[in-house]
Amino acid sequence: MNADSGDSGAVGRILTVAGVAVLVGELLAICFLRYESVEAMRPLTIGAAAVCIAALVQVLAAGPRGWRWWLTPDALWHWCPFVVYAAALTASARFAPDSVYPHIVAEAWWFAGLAIAAACITRHVRARRFTLAILIASLALLMLGVFGPTSAPDLSGRFLRYSGLLQWGAYPEIGMLGMLGAAAALAILLTARTWPLGIAAVILTGLFGVVPFVVNSRGAVVALVATAGWLVALVTLRGRRRLALLLVGVACVTALGGAFVYRARIARVAQSSDNAQASAAVSSRAEDWRVAVRMIAAHPLFGVGPGRYPLEYARYSSATPQSHAHNMLLHVGAEGGLLGLIPFALVWGRLLWLTLRASGAAGADAMARRDALVLHAILAAFFIRGMTDQFLSSVHSSFRTTLLMAIVLGLAEASATATRVDRDRAKR
């Protein structure tokens, strides 16, 4: 899609301002409204869908190919995975309980619609950068609640209840938010060209990064370490070896220093029941994955139906039924079948690849490449974390997480498209 087509005329400018306002309002509502205030989010979500429709109409009318754009491979490549995934989930939802059917169908289409809206509106570089900044700032402000005076650990040593964070459920969701912020801040650090920006990125990376450890979310810690390793390897391959080696050295010194300072506590943990709990968690997840694979084998096309994983669990295992498959891809495959899994995996795979390529595109604007790397880091961190949990359904904050990631996916789509246009211009 032509990234400049939305800039033509007053309609494009008005649409951009209105769309960014809706997206920013949606982000603030996702981060700060209580879970019980989901009704208050509905006008914003409906507004996002309306902006999406208006954006598509405006792009079609203003673009050089007009309405024929619908039939181009470019259009199909950009929007079809989102729409096909939502349509497939709607088709398989006929197997779902009547009580959850409307919610599942609506959530699938909000996910697709909001992602498309965010991609259309934030093709404008200023709009995308402003929305991305609001996202990171919202996560930073939200994380302040982790260290607030009302925080308190539960009996197992995990922090569960926070003033202002209750809408995110428990430690897995809070650890996930901290992990996303740390991945974004680390990407900024790796691309920083000035000392002030580098120092700010170091502070943000440290503050975000400590959250998964504070709330004792093992999955978030592992995902953050894996994402950090991937980003450092990436910048090393792209020529910034000194910075990568410096970061690796700092990380090693920090780890060794922490191990020495807390050596007594580490020894106690090693001898406690935490190891048994961790082993049980791995064993339980392995059984959940096997159950999901069996469901896919038994119902390959449409799955068992959205929302039915816990209801059908007993037919495939004698273990205690779980609310989700503890794996994002396997859960979608079990409940939506291959017809839902393939487009869902395509959405993630293509955007991870496009943002990776855009972050190193020769001839593109340096800040555009940084935007692409930040969004790639967020997507990679969430995807890795999704291999041991499923945050997009069957959890307390699934609707919020779905909308949050839809906006991130849309931003990534716009960032990759804009960087490609910059690269093409440089070749001319």
More confident of the two residues 396 and 108: 108
Is the Cβ–Cβ distance between 189 and 181 less than 8 Å?
no
Nearest-angstrom CA–CA distance, 219 and 389: 8
**H-assigned helices in 144-271:** 171-191, 195-214, 218-237, 241-261, 263-271
Is the Cβ–Cβ distance between 115 and 78 less than 8 Å?
no
Residue located via tokens 């994955």 = 289
Q: What is the mean pLDDT of residues 324-350?
A: 92
Nearest-angstrom CA–CA distance, 387 and 90: 24
Can you read off the two tokens belonging to residue 251? 């990380």
pLDDT of residue 23 exceeding 60:
yes
Lowest mean pLDDT of 74-88, 112-126, 184-198, 389-403, name the range.
Answer: 74-88
pLDDT of residue 387 exceeding 90:
yes
pLDDT of residue 159: 54
pLDDT of residue 346: 93
Lowest mean pLDDT of 18-27, 49-58, 264-273, name the range.
Answer: 264-273
8: which residues sit within 8 A by CB, 6+ positions away? 62
pLDDT of residue 4: 42
Nearest-angstrom CA–CA distance, 236 and 354: 19
pLDDT of residue 391: 92
CA atoms within 13 A on the CB side of 110: 25
pLDDT of residue 320: 83
More confident of the two residues 24 and 124: 24
pLDDT of residue 334: 92
Q: Which of 78-82, 224-228, 417-421 reaches the highest mean pLDDT?
A: 224-228
pLDDT of residue 279 exceeding 60:
no
Q: What is the mean pLDDT of residues 61-90?
A: 71
Lowest mean pLDDT of 50-59, 97-106, 156-165, name the range.
Answer: 156-165
pLDDT of residue 155: 40
Can you read off the two tokens belonging to residue 211? 């959250």
Can you read off the two tokens belonging to residue 189? 């650090």
Nearest-angstrom CA–CA distance, 39 and 33: 10
Nearest-angstrom CA–CA distance, 86 and 90: 6
Give residue 54's identity as a one-letter amino acid code: A
Is the Cβ–Cβ distance between 92 and 332 less than 8 Å?
no
Q: Percent of the chain having pLDDT more than 90? A: 27
Q: Which residues of 63-90 are buried (b: 16+ CB within 10 A; e: fewer)?
A: beeeeebeeeeebeebbebbebbbbbbb
- Residue 153 pairs in a beta bridge with 159
CA-to-CA dists, residue 244 to 37, 147, 252, 373, 398, angstroms: 44, 30, 12, 15, 35
Residue located via tokens 């009704």 = 39
Q: Which of 54-63, 157-166, 305-314 reaches the highest mean pLDDT?
A: 305-314
pLDDT of residue 139: 92
Is the Cβ–Cβ distance between 299 and 332 less than 8 Å?
no
Give residue 224's identity as a one-letter amino acid code: L
Domain edges within the chain: 5-239+273-427
Is the Cβ–Cβ distance between 360 and 298 less than 8 Å?
no
pLDDT of residue 296 exceeding 50:
yes
pLDDT of residue 255: 64
CA-to-CA dists, residue 392 to 23, 46, 107, angstroms: 19, 19, 10
Find the radius of gyration of the CA atoms of the chain: 22
Lowest mean pLDDT of 110-119, 156-165, 250-259, 303-312, name the range.
Answer: 156-165
Q: What is the pLDDT of residues 103-112, one digit of tens each?
A: 777 788 888 8
Q: What is the mean pLDDT of residues 359-384?
A: 89
Q: What is the pLDDT of residues 191-234, one digit of tens each?
A: 888 889 889 998 999 889 988 887 888 899 999 999 998 998 88
What single-letter DSSP state applies at residue 117? H
Q: What is the mean pLDDT of residues 260-284?
A: 56
pLDDT of residue 125: 85
